[in-house]
Amino acid sequence: MSEYFPPIRDMRFAMQELAGLDEVARLPGCEEVSAELVDAILEEAGRFASNVLSPLNRTGDQEGARLHEGAVRMPEGFRKAYRHFVESGWNALGGEPEFGGQGLPKLVSAAVNEMWKSSNLAFSLCPLLTGGAIEAIMLRGSAAQKAAYLPRMISGEWTGTMNLTEPQAGSDLAAVRTRAVPHGDGSFRIFGQKIFITYGEHDLAENIVHLVLARTPDAPEGVKGISLFVVPKFLLGADDALGDRNDVHCVSIEHKMGIHASPTCVLAFGDHGGAVGHLVGEENRGLEYMFIMMNAARFAVGLEGVALAERAYQQALGYARERVQGTDIGVRGGPKVTIIHHPDVRRMLMMMKSQTEAMRTLAYVVAAAHDAAIRHPDAEERKRQQAFVDLMIPVVKGWSTETGNEIAYLGVQVHGGMGFIEETGAAQHMRDARITTIYEGTTGIQANDLIGRKIARERGATIEAVLAMARALDQNLAARNGGDFAAMRRALGEGVQAVADAAAYIVANYAADVRAVSVGAVPFLRLLGIVAGGWQMARAALAAARRLDKGDPEADFLRAKLVTARFYADHLLTQAPGLARTVIYGAPGALALPEEMF
């Protein structure tokens, strides 16, 4: 099995040329973020990912997390790696300086987090959930809650979880039945069971801070009656020191297709008198608060799609360069060649390479927009950037994870029969990737959010602004008279028009026939992802061409950007018109059969 080599040159290109690292560095609070500092961070993170986390990826998959008498034991090496991770300050990278964080922008932390996910997805899930819990407490917790929990969560001394669903609920959080009973001292006693809790129990940290959705006695039915509570594994005593064990226990861990080293727990609250919890924010606004965590997690899971695509591509490329099989096509009696010479293998590798670059760039652009939405001094600009982030989060999550699955599948295919053998490691990437389209909201949930809340509700205003930015490239592409740029211009123009047509259909018909429009939700998400990725690939090609014009010494790297963008235009953007037709005309066939005829 191959190890992981961080694609720092590609990351740096995406951050500087496309996501606007220089602009991010000019935002209030980011003044110390220089290109030199970012390079140093990427290099050091790359060493940690390659030397510490990547070697544990395969062994962690084989050993898995284990439950014994209510305690979860992590695979060999994970505890030492986590201590190293925390002591090196990696968990605090994006945390608020007020509570011990380093305050670096999301653009920088996104690139670093991609490395953690590529090198060891199962390990990376622990800081992912902790980060979401930190953000929820930061934005909605009381001053006392912030003081008690944030410093040790930001440092990584303590970890965090999100406890949403239950056996009877699934994705329908209106069906949550966990109870929160007032205790008279300002605290509550929590009773219920939560499932699918990532890192709900483990031995990496001394305390786990659970954020739990529950209902108070007089809460209304449905999602309007859900509150959010902070429920630590160990209660806090005087001076917030660790006290008694709380009444929350792991009763089982799931046996999963992949991410075996990430414990997915069933947690029982209140089996021995009630778990002590404290209300976060206002009563009955828990789901609203939990979406703070959800949106952070959805972006992070989208990065998992990018990261696993990169890992699968690296492994497939390495195998294709070494595996000798067959002669070069069209050469009779020639010598045996490595399979990278075969046209279909090259096609598959280019599918992997081009889409990984497109997904990475889109994610980094969204991360930079998030930084502007939080930090920009102009209120209108903050609002505009936040609208862009809100529109693109379901795309980053849904399109990147679906595409990451496809790329992991191609990685197995490039290996041929050896890809089906666990020892090569290609199968692990495919198994690990499969969950990414499901947790933190399935692709269908992301797509319904996209067409409903992000397009129909605002009558397409934000997506029209995004399409205008993509159309603005037309003149620049036209000015580059080469055949590659003409092909990009044509394909991007058709893709943008396809999105415009499909979005217009959604806006015009959503209120009158939501079922018909919803049939095309996932095809529309895929359409928007492909075209948004094509927009970024065209920008990458233009940036590469400008640098080549100046005699940049990285000529081979930059020429590869031009070829990759051309490939994306010919093989991916050409799918856009067909997807638009599915969105607009696909409902009758999907909805016509009565249930008994299936």
Catalytic residue among 440, 458, 494, 596: 440
DSSP states of 540-583 = HHHHHHHHHHTT-S-HHHHHHHHHHHHHHHHHTGGGHHHHHHHH
Q: Which residues of 553-572 are buried (b: 16+ CB within 10 A; e: fewer)?
A: eeeeebeebbebbbbbbbeb
- In sequence order, what E strands does 508-552 have? none
Number of CB atoms found within 10 A of residue 588's CB: 9
Q: Report which of 577, 562, 486, 567 is spatially closest to residue 531, judged by C-alpha positions.
A: 577
Residue 133 tokens read as: 């819990």
- Spatial neighbors of 59 by CB under 8 A, at least 6 apart, are 75, 76, 77
Q: CA 509 to CA 507: how far, in whole Å?
A: 6
Number of CB atoms found within 10 A of residue 335's CB: 8
* Helices vs. strands in the chain: H and E counts, helices first: 21, 14
Q: CA 28 to CA 50: how far, in whole Å?
A: 33
In this structure, the chain runs to a length of 598
Which ranges of 336-482 would DSSP assign to H, the alpha helix? 343-375, 379-415, 426-434, 443-451, 461-471, 474-479
User: Residue written as tokens 């490039």?
Assistant: 414
Residue 234 tokens read as: 């160990």
Number of CB atoms found within 10 A of residue 551's CB: 7
Residue 8 tokens read as: 């720092």
The secondary structure of residue 592, as a DSSP letter, is: -
Residue 532 tokens read as: 């948004």
Is 390:401 a contact under the CB 8 Å cutoff? no
Q: CA 308 to CA 302: how far, in whole Å?
A: 10
Cα-based torsion angle of the residue sequence 58, 59, 62, 67 in order, rounded to the nearest 10 degrees: -130
CA-based end-to-end distance of the chain: 43
Q: 376 φ, ψ to 5°?
A: -65, 140
Q: CA 169 to CA 164: how far, in whole Å?
A: 9
Q: CA 91 to CA 84: how far, in whole Å?
A: 10
Q: CA 508 to CA 201: how far, in whole Å?
A: 48
Number of CB atoms found within 10 A of residue 406's CB: 17
Residue 296 tokens read as: 């952070």
Q: Report which of 243, 246, 236, 260 is spatially closest to residue 66, judged by C-alpha positions.
A: 260
Is 169:198 a contact under the CB 8 Å cutoff? no
Q: CA 198 to CA 201: how far, in whole Å?
A: 8
Q: Is 440 an active-site residue? A: yes
Residues taking part in catalysis: 440
